[in-house]
Chain A
Amino acid sequence: MNWFIETISSSIGKKLLMAITGASFILFLMIHLIGNLTLYFGKAVFLSYVAHLHALGPLIVAVEIMLLILACIHVTTGTFLFFQNLYARPRRYAVKRWAGGRTIGSATMPYSGFIILAFIVLHLSNFHFVDLSERTIFDVISTHFSSMLYVFIYTCAVVVVAFHVSHGFWSLFQSLGANNNKYMPLLRVLGLIFAVSVAIGFGFIPSYVRFMI
């Protein structure tokens, strides 16, 4: 067990933790996105998707617990890395220009991460921990998105998520060592496609619910 602790507490071990947990969230995002796309087809289709999803019963609970554990690992490791990296350069450069390697996504990873964490708390309190005895989840959604403030917050949050995964996607393969000359361009393009899909797919849901339904 000693070797395991040593491995995950090393710099590459922490990368591994970020990569594996990040990969799980990407997988989750994909499923979540596919599910949410049913909203574009109206109330009936969406509610039938929700009914099918909840028919999975204990499986859903298991996945939720898994995601919670993964989130704890991702956030703690990320926070630790953030402070460790600040510590590694006690005096910042007075003048710093980036050489072209960094992207908006990569440069903002810790910050977008913290924003996403805050958003997830809001998101869960809005749509997960709600009383559904007298209304459907669709009613909850349309009530929330009747407020422009919520439409705005959710749309912005989705853009932040898109930037986060635009770096996270290819980066996780690099961290796992699953990257070489042949696949690097493909991974970067796939990451971009995924980020754009997240931005468009999730991003227009609040406005769609607000204005079209």
Chain B
Amino acid sequence: MSRTINLTLKVWRQNKANPGGFETYEARSISKDMSFLEMLDVVNEELIVAGKEPIAFDHDCREGICGMCGSVVNGRAHGHMEKTTLCQLHMRHFSDGDTVSIEPWRARAFPVIKDLVVDRSTLDEIIRAGGYVSVNTGGAPDANAMPIPTEMAEKAFNAAACIGCGACVAACPNASAMLFVGAKISHLSILPQGRPEAAKRAWAMVTKMDKLGFGNCSNETECEAECPKGISILEIARMNREFFKAAFF
């Protein structure tokens, strides 16, 4: 069995001068052991040698934990594998001769900076609106001073697994950011340290999200299906509860 494959890439190219369109590239002799980003590296090296502009894409850790990478590959956020970031998507999941379309996350709240790179600072703005726990300065509290049942810790951790990549927004038919916001709100509100500000936080983050031009959630659950960390839409239900508490009580 051959260890390499050849692909045809249809890549979205966009910059200040170019309002955007697909360009076709050949990715030749791609090792099946490569990650999707390494495959793009190979293509980019060839482009550079040919004196052309390499494809701009975001990445950092390349081990699925930072949330920087991400594109819509063949119509799926982070590609077709479940619970995988683009940097962890391996070329062995593609076949020789495949045509692969690569597009940036598309949402009004995520304007394209260049090619596949989008501006996700709107997610940071939501965090700034309330995605934190207010603590007094001073000595760090003793570890385990506040007992937290394992079950609670696990629940909070499931939500905290969100890496903020924006795949939920990209995958949502409505470009809604509710899975992201739900995860952030849940992860803090489940723990006793985050409890006191839970309602206020939910109100602040949700109203911020609304102002930034994200769509509305219609419970399509596409976000959950595409989330590389498998965050559940139940975090959205929890966010709704916190929001109602803030609004009505």
Contact = CB atoms under 8 A, between A and B. Distances in A.
Partners in one complex: yes
Interface of A: 3, 6-7, 10-16, 81, 84-85, 87-102, 106-107, 109, 167, 170-171, 174-181, 184
B127 interface: no
B108 A88 contact: yes
B195 interface: no
B85 interface: no
26 contacts: A6-B207, A11-B214, A14-B216, A15-B216, A15-B240, A84-B215, A88-B176, A88-B216, A89-B215, A94-B101, A96-B75, A99-B76, A99-B171, A99-B222, A100-B225, A101-B222, A101-B223, A102-B173, A102-B222, A109-B218, A171-B218, A171-B219, A174-B233, A174-B236, A180-B234, A181-B232
Contacts of A176: 240
A96 B239 CA distance: 28
B247 A89 contact: no
Contacts of B215: 84-85, 87-89
A102 B237 contact: no
Given A174-B233, A179-B234, A101 B174 contact: no
Contacts of B232: 181
Interface in B229-249: 232-234, 236-241, 243-244, 247-248
B106 A93 contact: yes
Which A-B residue pairs are the 10 nearest by beta carbons? A88-B215, A101-B221, A99-B225, A177-B241, A97-B75, A85-B174, A177-B240, A101-B225, A88-B175, A101-B222
Contacts of B216: 11, 14-15, 81, 84-85, 88
A90 B75 CA distance: 17
Contact of B175 (A6, A16, A89, A179): A89
B107 interface: yes
B237 A177 contact: yes
B103 interface: yes
A104 to B, nearest CB: 12
A3 B174 contact: no
Given A11-B206, A88-B176, A95-B74, A81 B240 contact: no
A11 B247 contact: no
Given A93-B72, A97-B74, A179-B237, A88 B107 contact: yes
A209 B210 CA distance: 50
Contact of A89 (B75, B106, B219, B248): B106
Interface bin, chain B: 35 or more
B178 to A, nearest CB: 7
Given A91-B20, A174-B219, 5 more contacts: A11-B216, A85-B218, A89-B175, A107-B220, A174-B236
A10 B108 contact: no
B27 interface: no
B75 A10 contact: no
A114 to B, nearest CB: 15
Contact of B240 (A12, A87, A94, A106): A12
B86 to A, nearest CB: 15
A107 B218 CA distance: 9
Contact of B206 (A12, A91, A99, A102): A12
Contact of A184 (B12, B109, B210, B234): B234
A167 to B, nearest CB: 7
A94 B14 CA distance: 14
A179 B213 CA distance: 27
A84 B238 CA distance: 24
Contacts of B101: 94-95
B22 interface: yes
Given A11-B206, A84-B215, A107 B173 contact: yes
B192 to A, nearest CB: 20
Contacts of B244: 12, 16, 177
Nearest to B110: A89
A102 B22 contact: no
B69 interface: no
Contacts of B206: 10-12
Contacts of A11: 176, 178, 206, 209-210, 214, 216-217
A148 to B, nearest CB: 36
B115 interface: no
A9 B210 CA distance: 10
